[in-house]
Structure 1
Amino acid sequence: MKNHQYVFTINILCLLTLCFYSHNGFPQVFNADQYPPSVKWRQINTENFQVIYPSIFEAGAQRLANDLEILRERVSESLGVKPRKISIILQNQTVESNGNVQLAPRRSEFYTTPPQHSDFQDWLNNLAIHELRHVAQFDKLTGYLRAPFFEQLALAIYGANLPAWFFEGDAVLTETKLSLAGRGRLPSWEMPFRTNLLSGKKYSYQKDYLGSLKNITPGFYELGYFLTWQLEKAYGADILDSLITRIAKLPIRPYNFSSSLKKYTGYNTRQWHEKTREELTQRWEQQLIENAPEDYPVFPDKQAGKPASWLLPRRLADGRVMALHQDVHRVPAIVILDTAGRQDEVAKTGRQTDPHFSYASGKVVWDELRRDKRYGKRTYNVINLYDLEARSYRQLTRKSRYFSPALRPDAKQLIAVSVDEDNAISLVLLDTESGQRIARFPSPENIQLQTPAFDQTGTKVIVTGVSRQGAALIELDLPSGSYRMALPWQAQQIERPTYADNRIIFKAHYNGIDNLYALDTAANTIYQLTNARFGAFNPSVDTSSNRILFNNYQLDGYRISQVEPITSKYSDFKPLTQPNHTYTDNDTTYFEKWASKPYKGLKNIFNFHSLSVDNDNFDNLDDMKPGVYWLSDDLLNTTQLRLGYVYDGDIRSSEYLASVTYQRFFPKFSLEYLNRGQVGAARITSGGQEDVIGLRWRENTATLTMDIPFVFYQRNHVIASGFSTATSYTQRYNLNEPQFENRFIDRIQFPMHYQVYFNHSTRQSMLDLAPRWGQHLSITYRHFPFDNQVSGQLLSLRTAFYFPGLWRNHSLLARFNYQQRNGTYQMANDIPLVSGYDQLRPLPVDNTLLVSYRFPIAYPDWSIGPLAYIKRFKGGFFADFQNVRAGNAFQPRTFGIEFRSDMNLLRYYLPNFDIGIKLVYANEPNPRRRVFATYGIGYSY
């Protein structure tokens, strides 16, 4: 029992301080970036929702408001709760497709741009079902904890009690039951899990749930879907309500979810995972027997090791194959493979919303994500072009919203999907030399369009269409600008159609497994081209042999296979072997026109929602200041207010604070007021003896800060730069020793602080410990230009240079830091110090040179009971130099080794912890300790 109490105490402390992130409908942690100030916001207030949206999105907001009211009861019915009113923010400035629900403050955010890879239903409808289920979960478990004091506590209890696989699996299950599609109906959704089980890879509960750096695992969305579906299947729809109800009655019960699951089913979470895994294995083995799949030769051959994929294969005229290579060791790149499997890199790619490229006549195009330099809530999708003959790269478009570009056979033009800020969808024809738009073809009835492709003549384009009716194949005739339906609406995930003479090749899942099919446009019949074991994707036609190249999914990633032209017809498609969910249509002929009005940010600045034990800065453990804080955040990430009280036990003194941050416009401004106690010491001489007297006083300090940050992407490079300046006014009072009044500086007037920085680094692969290349530079200057009582200057330079190590994923880091100070700043240190500095003899520091080499050791995927799950061990060497200058011996002041591990604690998916020990050798005469250890803990989301 004592051990349970100990673990639960760690559990609550961890969650209270670290779990205040959004539990999203799709895999993205909530961020506090801003929207551009040019957006004009409006709002619709229904009985149960406040829909906040850009004015250009009026039509979409009106329809969504009706859908939300219809969906609210259906989504929450099985949990026996009626969710309270919530604010829904429609985010149309980003090109990413996402969503989240959060508390503290209570709101949900819908990213309105539809994706290029999705299930076969309207994007916003799917998003609404999924996110509203999260709202129902929140209110079922912690609905009694509300603003203005307890929303953060509600979020902590939610995160502490419900594993991520449960609340996301339940949401996916709901989106599948209440829609025509949903990810639970997609073979591609289950494919990694199914492949593992059919290949004999039965991983532990923690590995399937928390993931791995060396193997492909299902992930908590997919795992959670099957675990919750099996619960409903075995115990009825009320089981989820019963679980959450019991947890809500006593939210501080140790191992609350697992014990509740045990009470109602007789299984704890680990046992339920094993039972579900065995049932799924039997089901999928039977499906495999029924389908009688073929095994196709795969290319390239790969030695056993970490996962790797070669996506979207295209045969070149010389017989080589071009593909998009994804590897845990490297960042994604477009490569060319020769017949022996050796590959040459064409170009590294930056972040993509979906993997994509197109090749024709010696040119390659692909789309990439870019972000606004200042406003992180605004992103773009641009088109890049690479000329293989000239070996030259160009960014073809800028600040565009173009997706899935496809080259015309002569490569003089390309076509892409365009999605405007009001979700107006069209195909656009662009000139590949200038990037200028030649023609625009609006989508019929604004159907969502995905992944276009030209025919051999360059006069027709085939594209996937998605709507509330399902997925279809739609053909555009370029000369006339007219669309026609090539394949009517299907309850199928149809992907990446391409032409092959008089046929259209596409991916679908008619037999319950993703395979390639051919639509004979003349006979209007469908042929099955592949019968893959796990899944076939991304077809392309080898015009020299008329063979079809495709991606053949394997245990460790996507390989390349090919199939001969098929002659036998296959049209007797078996029913899907997916779970049989009852679909309830939420569409309606009734459409209410809601009143709308402007949403004024200034009128909604004050939004107090939570009392907190910290100031809401969870980026670094060293920045945490335990106390009591009252938090206010407006719904559009513009203004933060903090009122707080902290008791400093080290000096037995209270601290009061108030701060406001306003970040709508280009500079960010923050103003903070502190009233706090301070301690110091003074030397006095009496009777020829020197004595030290302790001093105590209080002070009022007001600080004003301005930041101008820039962040932007350029292919596989990330650049951040900026400038900040700050000043303050301090008034001191209540000195405890009146004899020092005449020497006591009671006011510090407007010291100035300036910082300019520039950071550049390349993208990291999954296994990289640091960027392969990176340069970071920061210059800081402090002085007292407006104060006659205080003087002093401090100039500091901090640099960091990353280099690739001797082997893959190794990293060499060299940091040189310099400071020059005088006056009041004489004893201040504004640069990183040598390891173990506080254990060494105190010496003035002018500069430091810190060199470290880090490398991965092993990827064990070890579970230490429920306490920790270790994904990686890593080690390193370091040598730290101090006061490097001519005349000084060039030898480190300290050096040593470090051993660290990446892990998850207490079976929580986030945060990811980095915990380790550093053994330090003091390389100086007569140290207090020659060898000593320091310990460190960090975390990331």
Structure 2
Amino acid sequence: MRIFILFLLGLWGVSLHAQIPANTIGANPFGLKWQQINTDKVQVIFPEGNDIRAQRVANVAHYLWDHNNASIGDKMKKVTILLQNQTVVPNGFVTVGPFRSEFYLTPTPFNMATDWLDQLAIHEFRHVKQFGNSRRGLTSLARSIFGSWAWGGFTATALPRWFFEGDATVQETALTLSGRGRQPAFTMEQRALILDGIDYGYEKAAAGSLKDFVPNWYSLGYYMVGYGRTRFGEELWSGVVNDAVRYKGLFFPLSKSLKKRTGLGTREFYQAMRQDLESKWKSGAPGARALEESPIVNRFRKKTVVNYTNPRWLDDADLVVEKRGYDQLPMYYRLRPDGVEQKLTNSGVLLSAPESTLSQGNGRLVWAEYGFDLRRSNQTYSVIRTYDISTGSKRQLTSQSKYFSPAITERGDRIVAVEVTPNGTCSLVVIDPAGGEVIRQIPNPDVYFFQFPRWTSDGSAIVVIGQRNERQALYRIDPATGRMEAITPATPRQLNHPEVRGDNVYFAAGYTGVNQIYTVPLGGGAIRQITEDPIGAFQPAVSPNGRMLAYSAFRTNGFDILKEELDESTWRTVDVNAPEDRLPTYAEELARQEGGTIVPTVPDEKFPVRKFNKTSGLINVHSWLPQLDPPEVGASILSDNKFGTLSIDAGAYYNLNEEEWTFSSNLRYAELFPIITLGYSYQNRAARLINYRAESDSIVRFASYVEEWTENKLTAGVELPFNFSKGNAVHRLDLIARFDRFHVNPQGNVDNPDRGIDTLINVGPNNTPRFRDLYLEPLAETDLNAIDLRLRWRLFRRQAVQHLTPHWGIVTDTRYRATVGNDLFSGFNFVTRGDIYLPAFFPSHGFYLNAGYQKLDRLDNYRFSNFFIYPRGYGAIGADDIVRLSANYTLPLAYPDLAIGPLAFVKRIKLNGFIDYGQLNFENDIFSYGAELRFDVRFLRLLEVDFGVRYSYLRDAPYAPNGNQHQFDFLLISITE
């Protein structure tokens, strides 16, 4: 038991769950004014002007505090919820360090019928309950002793990530009319695997793959949790969680508890779930057919997952499509009927397929992509970009905007887009495609959330999906008056991507268990189903002559573009209000267990609203981390305010061998544009120094020795982080300046023969004055001041999943440190490095060059820490000037997707060959050659680990460690969740 607890103490330090991101500070704009609702159950902090949304969140939290607890447990904990209204990224999370939740308020354009805020509150508050009910047994003990990070680490070690997200997805499904478990766009991924007869096994399903499509842990978790509840009862998982966080069964406690309660371990439970779904989905239910080969337009052979989406007709023959994959960033192609692909242009950061949109009018492509603020990570934008196919010119039409799903008229004279403002209002805006100015804002008095607007063929009206009161419908809007007319009945089913051709609207909808393409007259009337796709059809596009339909369809190797003739005789009329004939997904049984949708049931209590003081809770100690790394032991204390502006750490460490203490503390305050840093450290230092002294008129004493000293250092500095990222380019610049004041106390090893070399040099009679510039005082107890200036610049192209390095890019890091104001004791260090990334022979390969240079003076009687990266295999080499050049070629050897029991899942094996060159003092050359064999592994079902081994052959034996020209090193590159 003691060994196990020590193992856990080491593991939770790096195994923070996906729900626990790194604490980013200073993410919000400085000028926002904040308010709060603070009750005995929840604190909601929100920007001024968002009272209605804050009241709704508080009411949902209060309702869920008292209801729907049987399936998880009734151990509750008050939480702080921050409403973030400046970002356009639809998301939310709960973290424990410190314990809080953040809601990103801008909805996804591919929204369900339930209001985004309701769905988000239900989902995220389930995470709050999960963490609340994890405070039991060993996890509770760890939290009491070590604080929040131990709480999160022990919880994440006990409960796999698929349970966290699957259980929350189950709740959003059971407690609304349109949670993800009810949506064909969500269920199609697992269904495609089953209809294709693909069974990856539990280890791959839980770990994911860099080669094959594997549904994420939301999907896996929904079906695992849903199957358990429908097969073994509503309270199964509350019992499993209770056992797991207490660590009953020690290793893999969730699997042990499942085995005890169901007779099935995790792997067997997964297979039982798949068999259950297979029996449901292959028994004649809607869409439960074998996956047949259909003629597809894209003929390029897929070697990995590749998505072809967003088909747009250029004429009656050619299409423009969006193409992206595990080995390719998003790119727009001209796709001919024979499958020939012609590259047009690339996009920036898009929503994932099939959520993104593309519009074409008069030879101009229009889409929306993410834009970024210069400083604040929570300040993001959705900007409109255009591309002229005839001229090849691309431009950004808007900046610092929040426009979604833009669509251009067929004549190319106007663009319509959805605008979502920070205070939550949603409207349609008409934009001039020449200059990007807003021509008209269409009123929305009934407060609909609009999705996927499109112009009618003549540009006289707009067709859009309107969502309100857990219902969605198609509407026709007069852009001049804002008058809305319903085209289809309102339904909880998801509608998406309408397309207007002539007097008909074509659209995709999840009326049954499979997303299909439908059509309806522009003035309303009978809804007819066009496609009979076995998995899911999306994004319809009708040719200009009205004869051909193109659409994207999901497959297990990615979306394809399918094309078929429009033949009305094959269409069937559907009644969207008929009794449901839907694919079984556990949703109805889960809703029965939980009591169904709570959206109309949640009270509308008016809680008091008060100003929130951003300085309140500024010091918030939430964790302390032990360090057990003999001979050094110690601990650090962590403080982060929930508002995310101040982070403090302080630590004390004791070296058992040297019987010496080291202390350090750091403070980062990021409310203002510059990040202000303060620090203190007391540490033991050592460096090899050189000293010359005149012993007589002809004798010079030379000493090369290892000096040891203690150092008390106070630091103050500023950091200026700039984010110039745009399109596919990641572009960041960091300017850092620090001032250090430190007291040094050396041991005086210049006269210690055991600490180095001490010799006399005869320079000839009366010649010692000629060497006066070499005579420096040995380091003595004194106070020193120093400056530390640093510039980091990164400009590189984003990477696809299988890219090992960027296809192009430059990364530089330059740092200058020097003492100031002391003529007797001085030192300086200048170091710079740069990486250049270039295309390789294949997209997944990488070729990059490194260069580095360090300048110092070995005669300095104070030495700064050495951060130079020497040629691989060699240790630190004494030189005033050292240059390093390196060439690297890296490639994947295999994607084995190999499970080594529950211990490890090997995703990728990769090889890097290198040649390193170094030059010492512009005179002596050194070389090393070698290779690095690395592995990307999911370790213990918890951690993503990149590790490997390196072999280096050192050409120059005199500089090799211990003269050994063959060097082997273990590499641990990264550990993430």
TM-score (norm 2): 0.89
Is 1:262 matched up with 2:296? Answer: no
- Aligned equivalent of 1:645, options 633, 642, 652: 652
Structure 2 match to 1:350: 348
Structure 2 match to 1:618: none
Instruction: Report the CA distance shift for 1:223/1:858 in structure 2 as closer, same or farther (over 3 A).
Output: same
Is 1:378 matched up with 2:371? Answer: no
Q: What does the per-residue CA deviation read over 1:739-798, in whole Å, with 9 as the maximum and x for residues that have no partner?
A: 99x954323422011112321000111110010000112222222222233223322221
Q: C-alpha distance in 2, partners of 1:124/1:844?
A: 61
Q: C-alpha distance in 2, partners of 1:635/1:101?
A: 12
Q: What is the deviation of 1:659?
A: 2.3
Structure 1 match to 2:854: 819
For the 8 Å contact 1:751–1:783, the answer to whether it is kept is yes
What secondary structure is seen at the aligned counterpart in 1 of 2:283? helix
Instruction: Report the CA distance shift for 1:20/1:412 in structure 2 as closer, same or farther (over 3 A).
Output: same
Q: What is the deviation of 1:467?
A: 2.5
For the 8 Å contact 1:799–1:817, the answer to whether it is kept is yes
Instruction: Report the CA distance shift for 1:599/1:79 in structure 2 as closer, same or farther (over 3 A).
Output: same
For the 8 Å contact 2:25–2:646, the answer to whether it is kept is no
Is 1:636 matched up with 2:637? Answer: no
Q: What is the deviation of 1:262?
A: 0.5
- Aligned equivalent of 2:956, options 924, 928, 935: 924
Q: How does 1:380-779 map to 2 (within 5 A)?
A: 380-522=381-523, 524-563=525-564, 564-567=566-569, 568-571=571-574, 575-578=581-584, 579=586, 580=588, 581-582=591-592, 583-588=596-601, 590-613=603-626, 627-649=634-656, 651-678=658-685, 698-733=710-745, 743-779=778-814
Structure 1 match to 2:160: 163
Structure 2 match to 1:788: 823
What secondary structure is seen at the aligned counterpart in 1 of 2:150? helix
Q: What is the letter of the counterpart of residue 901 of structure 2? A: G
Instruction: Report the CA distance shift for 1:390/1:873 in structure 2 as closer, same or farther (over 3 A).
Output: same
Q: How does 1:827-906 map to 2 (within 5 A)?
A: 829-838=866-875, 846-883=882-919, 893-906=927-940
What secondary structure is seen at the aligned counterpart in 2 of 1:719? strand
Q: C-alpha distance in 2, partners of 1:548/1:614?
A: 63
Instruction: Report the CA distance shift for 1:589/1:511 in structure 2 as closer, same or farther (over 3 A).
Output: closer
Q: What does the per-residue CA deviation read over 1:449-480, in whole Å, with 9 as the maximum and x for residues that have no partner?
A: 11111110101111112223221112211232
Q: What is the letter of the counterpart of residue 930 of structure 2? A: G
Q: What is the deviation of 1:408?
A: 1.1
Q: What does the per-residue CA deviation read over 1:339-384, in whole Å, with 9 as the maximum and x for residues that have no partner?
A: 2212112111111234222111010111111111111111011001
Q: C-alpha distance in 1, partners of 2:794/2:233?
A: 54
Q: What is the letter of the counterpart of residue 878 of structure 1? A: F
For the 8 Å contact 1:528–1:570, the answer to whether it is kept is yes
Q: C-alpha distance in 2, partners of 1:537/1:154?
A: 43
Instruction: Report the CA distance shift for 1:276/1:417 in structure 2 as closer, same or farther (over 3 A).
Output: same
Q: C-alpha distance in 2, partners of 1:827/1:38?
A: 40
Structure 1 match to 2:217: 220
What secondary structure is seen at the aligned counterpart in 2 of 1:807? coil
Q: How does 1:328-343 map to 2 (within 5 A)?
A: 328-343=326-341
Q: How does 1:311-330 map to 2 (within 5 A)?
A: 311-317=309-315, 319-330=317-328
Q: What is the letter of the counterpart of residue 317 of structure 2? A: G
Q: What does the per-residue CA deviation read over 1:138-157, in whole Å, with 9 as the maximum and x for residues that have no partner?
A: 11112656689521111111
For the 8 Å contact 1:762–1:771, the answer to whether it is kept is yes
Structure 2 match to 1:60: 53
Q: How does 1:798-809 map to 2 (within 5 A)?
A: 798-809=833-844
Instruction: Report the CA distance shift for 1:763/1:10 in structure 2 as closer, same or farther (over 3 A).
Output: farther
Q: C-alpha distance in 2, partners of 1:362/1:694?
A: 72
Q: What is the deviation of 1:481?
A: 2.2
Q: What is the deviation of 1:103?
A: 0.3
For the 8 Å contact 2:514–2:535, the answer to whether it is kept is yes
Q: C-alpha distance in 1, partners of 2:650/2:866?
A: 30
For the 8 Å contact 1:759–1:776, the answer to whether it is kept is yes
What residue ranges of structure 2 are gaps of 5+ in the alignment? Answer: 753-776
What secondary structure is seen at the aligned counterpart in 2 of 1:166? helix
What secondary structure is seen at the aligned counterpart in 2 of 1:228? helix
For the 8 Å contact 1:322–1:337, the answer to whether it is kept is yes
Instruction: Report the CA distance shift for 1:921/1:565 in structure 2 as closer, same or farther (over 3 A).
Output: same
Q: What is the letter of the counterpart of residue 727 of structure 1? A: F
What secondary structure is seen at the aligned counterpart in 2 of 1:312? strand
Structure 2 match to 1:19: 15
For the 8 Å contact 2:71–2:236, the answer to whether it is kept is no
Residues 600-609 or 692-701, more deviating: 692-701
Q: C-alpha distance in 1, partners of 2:656/2:144?
A: 30
Q: What is the deviation of 1:394?
A: 0.9
For the 8 Å contact 1:94–1:113, the answer to whether it is kept is yes
- Number of residue pairs aligned between Structure 1 and Structure 2: 921
Instruction: Report the CA distance shift for 1:693/1:208 in structure 2 as closer, same or farther (over 3 A).
Output: closer
TM-score (norm 1): 0.93
For the 8 Å contact 1:548–1:565, the answer to whether it is kept is no
Q: C-alpha distance in 1, partners of 2:24/2:689?
A: 46
Q: C-alpha distance in 2, partners of 1:905/1:492?
A: 40
- Aligned equivalent of 2:65, options 62, 69, 72: 72
Q: What is the deviation of 1:649?
A: 4.0
For the 8 Å contact 1:793–1:824, the answer to whether it is kept is no
Q: What is the letter of the counterpart of residue 19 of structure 1? A: S
For the 8 Å contact 1:34–1:636, the answer to whether it is kept is no
Structure 1 match to 2:767: none
Q: C-alpha distance in 1, partners of 2:205/2:804?
A: 23
Structure 1 match to 2:301: 303
Q: What is the letter of the counterpart of residue 663 of structure 2? A: Y
Is 1:172 matched up with 2:169? Answer: yes
Q: C-alpha distance in 2, partners of 1:773/1:551?
A: 31
Structure 2 match to 1:229: 226
Q: CA RMSD in A?
A: 2.9
Instruction: Report the CA distance shift for 1:350/1:47 in structure 2 as closer, same or farther (over 3 A).
Output: same
Q: What is the letter of the counterpart of residue 301 of structure 1? A: R
Q: What is the letter of the counterpart of residue 128 of structure 1? A: A
Instruction: Report the CA distance shift for 1:220/1:121 in structure 2 as closer, same or farther (over 3 A).
Output: same
For the 8 Å contact 2:18–2:161, the answer to whether it is kept is no
Q: What is the deviation of 1:426?
A: 0.3
Q: What is the deviation of 1:633?
A: 0.3
Instruction: Report the CA distance shift for 1:407/1:835 in structure 2 as closer, same or farther (over 3 A).
Output: same
For the 8 Å contact 1:157–1:251, the answer to whether it is kept is no
Q: C-alpha distance in 1, partners of 2:358/2:679?
A: 49
Q: What is the deviation of 1:857?
A: 1.0
Q: Alignment identity in percent?
A: 28
For the 8 Å contact 2:299–2:339, the answer to whether it is kept is yes
For the 8 Å contact 2:297–2:563, the answer to whether it is kept is no
What secondary structure is seen at the aligned counterpart in 2 of 1:907? coil
Residues 418-427 or 387-396, more deviating: 387-396
Q: C-alpha distance in 1, partners of 2:284/2:716?
A: 66
Q: C-alpha distance in 1, partners of 2:559/2:216?
A: 17
